[in-house]
Amino acid sequence: MQNRSTPDYWFEKAHQCFRRSRTDSNARDALEALGNAFMVKAVELDIKLQKLANDNSTASSPARARRYGQLHFDRTDYSVV
C-alpha cells in the first residue's frame, strides 16, 4: 500500500473512482466528483514536492549560501569562497 503523502496514492484513488463510476450508474456523479477531488490533491502534492526538490537543489548553490551566511567550499581547491 502506498503512503498517503505520495501523489501516486491520490492518482490511484482518483483512477479507482473513475473506473467505478463507469460501472455504477447510481453513484456515477458522486464518484466522478470524488475522483476529481483526488486528482486535484495529487497534482497539488506533486507540485509541492517538486518545489521542495527544486529548493533543496538550489540551497547548496554558492550565491544562495552567501546570502544566508553559510560557508561554501569550492570543489576544485577546497578553499572557502
Mean pLDDT per segment of 10 residues, for the chain of length 81 residues? 78 94 90 95 93 78 51 42 37
Contacts of 27 (CB under 8 A, 6+ apart): 20, 21
Cα 81 vs. chain centroid, distance in angstroms? 33
Question: Is residue 21 within 8 Å of 33, Cβ to Cβ?
Answer: no
Give the pLDDT score at 79. 42
> Using CA atoms, how far apart are residues 78 and 63, in angstroms rounded to an integer?
17
